[in-house]
Amino acid sequence: MKSFQLLQRQVLASLIIVMFAFQLNAKTTVSISKSTVEIFDYQEIVLKTSAVKPGDNPFTGSSVKAVFTHESGTTTPVEGFCDAADGSLYKVRFMPRETGNYSYQLEFARGKNNAQVYAGKFSVVTSKRNGPIRVDIENPTHFVYENTGNHYFWNSTTCYWLMGWKDEQVSLDAIDRLAALGINRIRVAIAGRSHGGERWNEKYVKECEQFSFMLNPWMAKNPQSLDNPEFDVTRFNLAYWQRFDRLLEHAREKGIVVSVIFYVDGLDHATDPFKKENMGNEFEQLYYRYAAARFSGFENIMWDIANEYHLFRTPEWAEKMGTLLKVSDHANHLISVHGSSDFPFRKSPWVDVVMYQSWDECGGYSFMLDCFRQQAETGRILPQINEEYGYEGHYAVWGCGPTATKHPNGRNGYNRSQLAWEICMAGGYQTTGETAEYGTGAGEDTGGGWINGRGNNKMNMLNYYRIMKNCFEKTDYWKMKPASQLVNYGNLCLANAGNEYLVYSRVQHCRLALPGEGIYSVLMVNPRTGEENRLPDVNAKDNGAWQYPKELNEDWVFILKRMD
């Protein structure tokens, strides 16, 4: 017995000597990616270390954080993140919002050990980058880019499972295609899990050799198991997150903002490893903090704390996680949450954008006007978005009750764009979704549409949206308000009275009241083809109105601008 105890003491002493030698020989180096960085790019501090012991969890047992100080004295704290499974690599990403000289102080700590502190300097210069999108202070229902000050016309589409492509290049090619079609925002999920498109009556999108519905942001014992992956929510799947980095980089090059969604359809299978009993616990907070640390340096993101949160979470949880994201994101990107036709967070300080889901006719012009009315009653004006109102060719049973357009072609590409026109003519914005009928792993296997972002040259819907975007960008739309009392019943009008008018004509005759005086140019645009025709100028004194002289049998757009 004494011999065994002696052996135990010898083994313990040996372990202590090994651990001491390990700590003594541990090496840590810190470097920055650039000595000079452009404003609204990100500076990356890289810490390489051998100080993390084998077997330790570097995501929970170690921390890295930095404080960046501008020459004016302004300080910005930023949390870093682990980027190597063995804890040998940590990074801090900081997006500077001022030019000039910066210093930083970085602190690296393991458990309760004394922190190691490192310091350095770099400079920030001007750039032509857009910067993040912000709510326009002067016109708070609209958006501007922080750096350029140019207005941002939100033209968005859904592609939840863009990260599901096994060949990364397919995802990047999809971004290229969407950018060429005028899309400037996409919705992409971090966590999602489904058996296939049949879940939403999309039979042609399947789990297959080239595409998976099983997203794995955490390490898992069984990553290909739909219902039992056995996620370790204390450890992140770094290859997945590094690929998400590259997706964001590519989207940034193409001028696309990525709405980062933490869960899509959280009730499904193993999408949500926390469930209601653990919602908001320290490890779910770790998930949100890790995403903020990793992605906040990108100018081209915004946050959606969950897709259809109300199906698997509570409003109290949304308040908690939204508040956490607000304090975790050093660059203060826009934050919202996707829910239903109601939005209970209109007054919440963490909310920057109000988002709804209201399908078909129920989500059109009148709905959006009512959304603005409800928001105004809070005393806090914010942009209003119908984030989901019925995807192209998607004939699920849900929608706008018995009046919904569920008949064949009831949700085709063109009438989806007509509904988008209604939303935008009310002063709001929208997010659409392309058809999934060309399929992934089934059918032609050349699409995927709103599910995963891929498309082909038969998919024409987004051409109509590009035309709509171009029409609005020909105007100072952010200065205009809904004024449909100035046009025939059934037509829609935005007006900056006495200066500029945008008319979306939907009936046989188009007449616009022009109060006061002035000469106006008139541009007629075909919303199906984008063809433009300059019509004769009009004098507001002539009958106090302008009228198109012929009958119209399709939708048309007219833009009138005062010339004198």
Task: Look up residue 529 and give its two tokens.
Answer: 């083809």
- CATH number of the domain that residue 65 is part of: 2.60.40.2550
- Domain end call among 99, 125, 151: 125
Return the exposure string of 320-348: e unless at least 16 CB atoms fall within 10 Å of the residue's CB, then b: bbbebbbebbbbebbbbbbbeeebebbeb
- Asked if residues 266 and 313 have their Cβ atoms less than 8 Å apart, the reply is yes
Domain assignment present for residue 5? The answer is no
Structural domains counted in the chain? 3
- CATH number of the domain that residue 515 is part of: 2.60.40.1180
Q: Are residues 90 and 223 in the same domain?
A: no
What's the confidence (pLDDT) of residue 252?
A: 98
Tens digit of each residue's pLDDT (9 = 90 or more) over 432-464: 999 999 999 999 999 999 999 999 999 999 999
Angle between helices 365-377 and 413-425 (to 10 degrees): 30
Q: Are residues 394 and 536 in the same domain?
A: no
Q: Are residues 162 and 220 in the same domain?
A: yes
Domain assignment present for residue 17? The answer is no
pLDDT at 145 over 90: yes
pLDDT at 241 over 50: yes
Q: Are residues 441 and 380 in the same domain?
A: yes
Q: Are residues 164 and 231 in the same domain?
A: yes
What's the confidence (pLDDT) of residue 406?
A: 64
The alpha carbon dihedral of 216, 220, 226, 227 has a sign of negative
Q: Are residues 108 and 233 in the same domain?
A: no
Domain assignment present for residue 12? The answer is no
pLDDT at 228 over 50: yes
Domain assignment present for residue 1? The answer is no
Q: Are residues 513 and 385 in the same domain?
A: no
d(CA 164, CA 160): 9
Tens digit of each residue's pLDDT (9 = 90 or more) over 101-110: 999 999 999 8
Beta strand 519-525 with 556-562 is: antiparallel
What's the confidence (pLDDT) of residue 410?
A: 78
On average, the pLDDT of the chain sits at 93
The parent domain of residue 154 ranges over: 133-471
d(CA 360, CA 5): 77
Provide the pLDDT confidence category of residue 202 given band limits of 50, 70 and 90.
very high
214, 196, 213: which is closest to 205 by C-alpha? 196
Domain assignment present for residue 400? The answer is yes
- Domain end call among 419, 452, 471: 471
d(CA 521, CA 548): 13
Single-letter amino acid, residue 439:
G
pLDDT at 31 over 80: yes
- Domain end call among 413, 439, 471: 471
Q: What is the mean pLDDT of residues 533-546?
A: 95
HSE value, Cβ hemisphere, 13 Å, CA-based, for 295: 31
- Asked if residues 312 and 276 have their Cβ atoms less than 8 Å apart, the reply is yes
Q: Are residues 277 and 349 in the same domain?
A: yes
DSSP, collapsed to helix, strand or coil, labels residue 37 as strand
What's the confidence (pLDDT) of residue 22?
A: 35
Q: What is the mean pLDDT of residues 496-514?
A: 97
Alpha helices in 438-563 (DSSP H): 461-473
- CATH number of the domain that residue 259 is part of: 3.20.20.80
Domain assignment present for residue 62? The answer is yes
Distances (CA, A) of 269 to 192, 244, 275, 307: 9, 22, 11, 15
